[in-house]
Chains A and B, each alone.
Chain A
Amino acid sequence: MSRLVVENLQRSFGGVKAVRGVSFSLAQGEVLALIGPNGAGKTTCFNLLNGQLRPDSGTVRLDGVDLVGLPPRRIWRLGVGRTFQITATFASMTVRENVQMVFLSCRRRLFGLWQPAVGCFRDEAQNLLERVGMGAQADRPCGVLAYGDLKRVELAMALASDPKILLMDEPTAGMAPAERLELMALTSALVRERGLAVLFTEHDMDVVFGHATRIIVLDRGQLIAEGPPEAVRADERVQAVYLGTAA
Chain B
Amino acid sequence: MSFYLVQFLSGLAAAATLFLVSSGLTIVFGVTRIVNFAHGSFYMLGAYLGWSLIERWGTTPLGFWGGVALASLAVGALGALMEVGLLRRLYRSPELFQLLATFGVVLVIQDAASYAWGSEDLLGRRAPGLKGSVDILDQPFPLYDLVLIALGPVVLGLLWLLFNRTRWGTLVRAATQDREMAAALGVDPAKLFTGVLFLGSALAGLGGALQVPREAVNLHMDMSIVVEAFVVVVVGGMGSLTGAFVASLLIGQLQAFGILVFPQITLVLVFLFMAVVLVIRPYGLLGRKEEAPPTAASPGPPLVLATGLVRWVPALLLLLLALVPLVAGDYALIVLTEVVILALMAASLHLLIGLGGLVSFGHAAYFGLGAYGSALLVKHLAAPMPLALAAAPVLAGVGALIAGWFCVRRSGLYFAMLTLAFAQIAWSVAFQWYGFTGGDNGILGVWPPDWAAGKAAYYLLTLALAGGTLFLLRRAAFAPFGYTLRAGRDSALRAEAVGIDVRRHQWYAFALAGSAAGLAGGLYAFSKGSVFPTLMAVPMSVDALVMVLMGGIQTLSGPVVGAALFHLLETEVMSLTEWWRLVLGLVIIVLVLAFPKGVAGFVRDLWMRRKEA
What is the interface of chain A, defined by CB distance below 8 A to chain B? 50, 52, 71-73, 76-77, 82, 84, 88-94, 97, 100-102, 104-106, 109-118, 120, 141, 143, 157, 161
Which residues of B come within 8 Å of A, CB atoms? 299-303, 305, 472, 475-476, 478-484, 486-487, 489-491, 493-501, 505, 508
CB of B487 within 8 A of CB of A117, answer no
Q: Name which residue of chain A comes closest to B491, CB basis.
A: A88
Report the minimal beta-carbon distance from A25 to chain B, rounded to whole angstroms.
23
Which among A71, A97, A110, A118 is the interface contact of B481 at CB below 8 angstroms? A110
Cβ of A168 to closest chain B Cβ, rounded Å: 13
Shortest distance from the beta carbon of B553 to any chain A beta carbon, whole Å? 12
Could you say which of B299, B478, B483, B484 has the most chain A C-beta atoms within 10 Å of its C-beta?
B483
Given contacts A90-B490, A93-B487, are A72 and B478 in contact (CB under 8 A)? no
Q: Are B480 and A120 in contact (CB under 8 A)?
A: yes
- Inter-chain contact B505/A92, CB cutoff 8 Å: no
> In the bound complex, do residue B302 and residue A106 qualify as a contact, i.e. CB atoms below 8 Å apart?
no
A89 to B491 Cα, complex, angstroms: 6
Interface contact tally, CB-CB below 8 A: 110
- Given A88-B491, A116-B478, answer yes or no on A141-B302 (Cβ-Cβ < 8 Å): yes
- Complex: chain B residue closest to A161, CB-CB: B498
A119 to chain B: closest CB distance in Å?
9
- B499, A88: Cβ atoms closer than 8 Å: no
**6 A-B pairs in the complex with CB atoms less than 8 angstroms apart:** A90-B487, A90-B491, A92-B300, A93-B486, A104-B483, A112-B481
* Bound CA span A100–B302, Å: 14
Q: Among the listed A82, A92, A110, which residue makes an inter-chain contact with B301, where contact means beta carbons less than 8 Å apart?
A: A92
Q: What 6 pairs across the A-B complex have the smallest Cβ distances?
A: A88-B494, A92-B299, A90-B490, A112-B480, A105-B499, A117-B483
Given A73-B499, A161-B499, do A92 and B490 touch, yes or no (CB 8 Å)? yes
What residues on A are CB-neighbors of B496 within 8 Å?
A: 71-73
A115 and B478 CA atoms in complex are apart in Å by: 8
Tell me if A101 and B302 are in contact (CB < 8 A).
Answer: no
- Complex CA–CA separation, A93 to B305 (angstroms): 12
In contact, A94 and B479 (Cβ under 8 angstroms): no
Known contacts A92-B486, A93-B490, A110-B481, A102 near B498 by CB under 8 Å = yes
A105 / chain B contacts, CB cutoff of 8 Å: 484, 498-500
- Cα(A52)–Cα(B501), bound, Å: 14
Q: Are B500 and A110 in contact (CB under 8 A)?
A: yes
Q: Which of B472, B491, B497 contacts A50 (CB 8 A)?
A: B497
Query: Which residue of A92, A104, A157 contacts B302 across the interface (Cβ within 8 Å)?
Result: A92
Beta-carbon nearest neighbor of B501 in chain A: A73
Instruction: Name the one of A50, A71, A114 contacting B479, with C-beta atoms under 8 angstroms.
Output: A114
In whole angstroms, how far apart are the Cα atoms of A117 and B483 in the complex? 7
CA distance A118 to B475 in the complex (A): 12
Q: B499 — which chain A residues lie within 8 A by C-beta?
A: 73, 76-77, 102, 105-106, 161
Q: Chain B residues near A100 (CB, 8 Å)?
A: 483
CB distance from B62 to the nearest CB of A (A): 54
Q: Least Cβ distance of A22 to chain B in Å? A: 21
Inside 8 A of A91's CB, which chain B residues have their CB? 299, 490-491
- Residues on B with beta carbons closer than 8 Å to the beta carbon of A77: 499
Chain B residue numbers with a CB within 8 Å of A104 are: 480, 483-484
Name the residue of chain A whose CB is nearest to the CB of B300: A92
- Cβ of B295 to closest chain A Cβ, rounded Å: 11
Q: B497 touching A141 by the CB < 8 A rule? A: no
Interface contact A113-B479, CB-CB below 8 Å: yes
Partner of A110, one of B480, B489, B494: B480
- Inter-chain CA distance A106–B480, complex, in Å, is 12
Give Cα A100 to B501, complex, Å. Answer: 17
| Smallest beta-carbon distance B430→chain A, Å | 31
Known A92-B486, A105-B500; 16 more pairs at CB < 8 Å = A50-B497, A73-B497, A88-B493, A89-B490, A90-B486, A91-B490, A92-B489, A101-B484, A101-B498, A104-B483, A110-B480, A117-B480, A141-B301, A141-B302, A143-B301, A161-B499
Q: Is A111 a contact partner of B498 (Cβ separation < 8 A)?
A: no
B480: chain A residues at CB < 8 Å are 104, 109-112, 115, 117, 120
Q: How far is the CA of A70 from the CA of B500 in the complex (A)?
A: 14
Give A76 to B495 CA distance when docked, in angstroms.
11
Chain B residue nearest in CB terms to A101: B487
Interface centre among B300, B303, B489, B494 (most CB of A within 10 A): B494
Q: How far is the CA of A50 from the CA of B497 in the complex (A)?
A: 8
Q: Output the least CB separation between B364 and chain A (Å).
A: 25
Known contacts being A76-B499, A110-B484, is A117 close to B478, with CB within 8 Å? yes
Known contacts being A73-B497, A88-B494, A89-B491, is A101 close to B483, with CB within 8 Å?
yes
Q: Chain A nearest CB: distance from B292 CB in Å? A: 13
Nearest to B476 among chain A residues (CB) is A113
* A141 to chain B: closest residue by CB: B302
Contacts of B489 in A (CB 8 A): 92
With contact pairs A92-B300, A104-B480 given, residues A116 and B305 touching in the complex (Cβ less than 8 Å): yes
Minimum CB–CB distance from B487 to chain A (whole Å) comes to 5
Question: Please, how many angstroms separate the alpha-carbon atoms of A78 and B508 in the complex?
Answer: 25
Question: Considering the chains assembled together, what is the distance between the CA atoms of A26 and B495 in angstroms?
Answer: 26
Give A111 to B305 CA distance when docked, in angstroms: 19
Across the interface, which residues of A come within 8 angstroms of B483, CB to CB? 93, 97, 100-101, 104, 117
Which A residues touch B481, using CB under 8 A?
A: 110-113
Which of A92, A102, A106, A161 is packed against the most chain B CB atoms within 10 Å? A92
Indicate if the CB atoms of B487 and A84 lie closer than 8 Å: no
Q: Give the residue name and chain of the A residue nearest to B494 (CB).
A: A88
A112: chain B residues at CB < 8 Å are: 479-481
How many Å lie between the Cα of A37 and that of B505 in the bound state? 39
